[in-house]
């Protein structure tokens, strides 16, 4: 039996196709390096050039690659000698014209600005102890996501970081202690693969970009490393970041942008396989479902395979814990399900369940409304977000937080995690007239993210003459809605220190003065951080707020009569495994005056009221059948 099993294993190994990595990049060995590139079948010639440097200089070797004997789309070359430390490009000829040099689609290391592939021994990039690095074990319903940009987080002097704007900032005690104190357990880092818009040769000058302009999908961004000219440095530093966060029990989630590339003609896709990877309209123009000038074609075999292999690579090589898919609605359902299937169950997957324009695809796209057909994949809830802060197509329109009635059902939709629930009138929900999540962990609950105004700016822009007191009350109430939602809560980095972006709603290339976190705000507004951390601690300690199962939510959560600008519900904690509280009442009052709701007479412990949250209890109240919710705030109590 034992022999039979090992025979099966050998046969299986022979049947498994070579990984894309080995097929379309470089396979390094000290004696020789094997290069492979995949082209369209009408490619006429492929040149491989070897360089001493990542940028500039003449090639030290030029090789005409040869067709693989087994395929008319694979080209191969083997270069003898130890090429470690060298760089390479491919240049493919179609119709008598070379498309231009590029590192190919599967470079795992590149030179400065990502123009050339780099030959690196990946084992040498592992920090000390990397073999023992493990993904923290946190269930989807226990996650608390913190969306951050490396430069926002650590660039300002007030942060006191040594590695300002770098991956390494997240290894510093200042960062780790702050994140742990706040209580978030997953950082979602804005694009951290190699992107185009920051010139890595002049990092001495301030440059800023969110990074939604992909260049090399399988290499960390050089601008966040201490030396982008040394290809192994960014790889090692990225791993050090992951390792430090993992040690602190914090997951690392990568924002991935497979839906479009920086440009078409210069992209690695287009230079190796022209027009294969992009969708086109009937008139031959490129479709632009991304709003960025192009859109990739996930439904095509090699694009789908590329996405699957790319995320697997980040998990295996960098120990990444999850992925946030930018404009997931540009991709097809089948690809997203293939990605889900290819990754371990604990890898958390979510995305924007929309596109930024119409897509040239007639099949079904991974839109929010189709989430029910993508089990194990979540989507951002713009229903709840906009019901709280106001609609996405305006910066100045207010909603629930501004005392605008009619948003209650959309907030309830977000409270239950976008599942079917008897207490919601779906006809009154702003964007979705039906539930879309099978389980509450398929919905991301949030009120702000990098896109659009941050919460402080939005409150200022949408509520006339707002006072500081009002702003803080509404900010805290908004995050309480998020952090008590049965969906997976998500917050924008810096909200805990009342960040603002001076009213700039699309700060993708704004200077540091707009985007940076001002760490001194922690001392200016200590009540905000205090509330946030207690709120998060309360969520973590009480499974009633993150039951993780649609059936359990339907059985144990009931809405109470509210009215305009008042949403209230009851959770029967006794039926929730691990819950120590009995009857839990949660209410949100957006009125400028106190309101009451009816709850059974008896004694209750108040854990959230006004601008205070304390899971151990603020005070006790005796209800005579009614309880008062102060103006513009959340109230949580239990017995
Ligand atoms: Ca770059």
Cα 443 to ligand 1 centroid, rounded to whole Å: 32
Place of tokens 């961004």: 221
Cα(593)–Cα(633) distance, rounded to whole angstroms? 10
**Hey, which bits of 29-137 come out as E strands?**
32-38, 45-51, 61-64, 66-67, 74-80, 87-94, 97-98, 117-118
* Coil, strand or helix at 50: strand
Cα 295 to ligand 1 centroid, rounded to whole Å: 20
For helices 301-318 and 231-247, angle between their N-to-C axes, nearest 10 degrees: 70
Cα(138)–Cα(144) distance, rounded to whole angstroms? 10
In this structure, is the dihedral angle defined by the CA atoms of residues 177, 179, 182 and 183, taken in order, positive or negative? negative
Cα(14)–Cα(8) distance, rounded to whole angstroms? 10
Q: What pLDDT, on the 0 to 100 scale, is given for residue 470?
A: 97
Cα 326 to ligand 1 centroid, rounded to whole Å: 18
DSSP string, 565-624: TEEEEEEEGGGSTT---SEEEEEEE-SSS-EEEE--SEEEEEEEETTEE-TT-SEEEEES
Cα 458 to ligand 1 centroid, rounded to whole Å: 31
Q: What pLDDT, on the 0 to 100 scale, is given for residue 346?
A: 98
Cα 144 to ligand 1 centroid, rounded to whole Å: 29
Q: What pLDDT, on the 0 to 100 scale, is given for residue 287?
A: 97
**Hey, which bits of 511-582 come out as E strands?**
557-563, 566-572
Q: What pLDDT, on the 0 to 100 scale, is given for residue 518?
A: 98
Cα 312 to ligand 1 centroid, rounded to whole Å: 21
Cα 229 to ligand 1 centroid, rounded to whole Å: 11
Q: What pLDDT, on the 0 to 100 scale, is given for residue 456?
A: 98
Cα(364)–Cα(149) distance, rounded to whole angstroms? 32
Q: What pLDDT, on the 0 to 100 scale, is given for residue 5?
A: 42
Q: What pLDDT, on the 0 to 100 scale, is given for residue 2?
A: 42
**Radius of gyration over every alpha carbon of the chain, rounded to an integer in angstroms:** 26
Q: What pLDDT, on the 0 to 100 scale, is given for residue 23?
A: 58
CA 36 to chain centre: 32
Give per-residue pLDDT as tens, 237-268.
999 999 999 999 999 999 999 999 999 999 99
The three-state DSSP-derived secondary structure of 274-330 is CCCCECECCCCCECCCCCCCCCECCCCHHHHHHHHHHHHHHHHHHCCCEEEECCHHH
Place of tokens 């490129």: 286
Catalytic residue among 352, 383, 457, 614: 352
Residue 571: beta bridge partners?
557, 584
Catalytic residue among 156, 200, 295, 326: 326
Q: Is 469 a catalytic residue?
A: no
Cα 225 to ligand 1 centroid, rounded to whole Å: 10
Are 411 and 477 spatial neighbours (Cβ–Cβ below 8 Å)? no
pTM, 2 dp: 0.95
In this structure, is the dihedral angle defined by the CA atoms of residues 373, 192, 292 and 448, taken in order, positive or negative? positive
| Regions in the chain scoring below 50 on pLDDT | 1-22
| CA nearest to 343, candidates 307, 376, 312 | 312
Q: What pLDDT, on the 0 to 100 scale, is given for residue 143?
A: 98
Q: Is 123 a catalytic residue?
A: no
Give per-residue pLDDT as tens, 195-251.
999 999 999 999 999 999 999 999 999 999 999 999 999 999 999 999 999 999 999
């Amino acid at each position: 039996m034992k022999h039979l099993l090992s025979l099966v294993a050998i046969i299986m190994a022979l049947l498994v196709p070579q990984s894309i990595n080995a097929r379309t990049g470089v396979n390094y060995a000290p004696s020789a390096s094997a290069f492979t590139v995949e082209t369209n079948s009408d490619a006429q010639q492929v040149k491989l050039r070897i360089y001493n440097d990542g940028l500039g200089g003449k090639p030290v070797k030029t090789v005409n690659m040869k067709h693989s004997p087994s395929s008319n789309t694979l080209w191969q070359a083997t270069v003898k000698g130890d090429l470690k430390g060298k760089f390479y490009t491919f240049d493919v000829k179609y119709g008598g014209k070379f498309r231009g040099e590029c590192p190919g689609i599967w470079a795992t290391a590149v030179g400065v600005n990502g123009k050339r592939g780099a030959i690196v021994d990946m084992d040498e990039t592992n920090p000390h102890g990397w073999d023992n690095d493990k993904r923290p074990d946190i269930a989807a319903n226990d996650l608390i996501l913190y969306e951050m940009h490396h430069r926002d987080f650590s660039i300002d002097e007030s942060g006191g970081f040594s590695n300002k704007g770098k991956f390494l900032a997240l290894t510093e005690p200042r960062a780790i202690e702050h994140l742990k104190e706040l209580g978030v357990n997953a950082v979602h880092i804005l694009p951290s693969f190699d992107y185009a818009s920051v010139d890595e040769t002049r990092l001495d000058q301030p440059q800023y970009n969110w990074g939604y302009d992909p260049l090399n999908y399988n290499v960390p961004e050089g601008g966040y490393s201490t030396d982008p000219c040394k290809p192994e440095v960014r790889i090692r530093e990225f791993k050090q970041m992951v390792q430090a966060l993992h040690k602190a029990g914090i997951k690392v989630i990568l924002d991935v942008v497979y839906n479009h590339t920086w440009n078409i003609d210069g992209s690695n896709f287009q230079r190796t396989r022209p027009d294969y990877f992009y969708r086109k309209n009937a008139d031959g123009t490129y479709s632009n479902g991304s709003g960025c000038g192009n859109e990739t074609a996930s439904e095509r075999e090699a694009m789908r395979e590329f996405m699957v292999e790319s995320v697997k690579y980040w998990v295996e090589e960098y120990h990444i814990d999850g992925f946030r898919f930018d404009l997931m609605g540009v991709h097809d359902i089948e690809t997203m399900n293939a990605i889900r299937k290819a990754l371990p169950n604990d890898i958390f997957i979510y995305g924007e369940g929309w596109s930024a324009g119409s897509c040239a695809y007639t099949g079904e796209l991974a839109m929010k409304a189709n989430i029910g057909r993508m089990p194990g994949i979540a989507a951002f809830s713009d229903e709840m977000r906009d019901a709280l802060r106001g609609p996405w197509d305006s910066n100045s329109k207010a909603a629930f937080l501004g005392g605008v009635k009619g948003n209650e059902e959309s907030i309830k939709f977000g409270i239950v995690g976008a599942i079917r629930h008897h207490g919601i009138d779906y006809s009154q929900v702003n964007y979705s007239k039906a539930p879309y999540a099978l389980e509450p962990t398929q919905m991301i609950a949030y009120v702000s993210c990098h896109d659009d105004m941050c919460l402080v700016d939005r409150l200022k822009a949408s509520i006339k003459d707002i006072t500081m007191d009002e702003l803080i009350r509404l900010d805290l109430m908004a995050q309480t809605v998020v952090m008590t939602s049965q969906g997976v809560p998500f917050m924008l980095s810096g909200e805990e220190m009342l960040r603002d972006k001076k009213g700039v709603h699309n700060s993708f290339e704004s200077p540091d003065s707009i985007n940076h976190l001002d760490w001194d705000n922690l001392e200016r507004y200590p009540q905000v951080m205090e509330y946030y951390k207690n709120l998060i601690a309360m969520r973590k300690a009480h499974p009633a707020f993150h039951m993780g199962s649609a059936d359990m939510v339907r059985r144990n959560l009931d809405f109470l009569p509210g009215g305009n600008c008042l949403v209230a519900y009851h959770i029967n904690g006794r039926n929730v495994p691990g819950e120590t509280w009995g009857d839990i009442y949660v209410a949100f009052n957006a009125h400028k005056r106190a309101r009451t709701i009816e709850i059974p007479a008896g004694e209750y412990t108040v854990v959230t009221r006004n601008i205070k949250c304390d899971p151990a209890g603020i005070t006790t109240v005796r209800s005579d059948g009614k309880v008062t919710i102060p103006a513009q705030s959340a109230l949580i109590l239990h017995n």
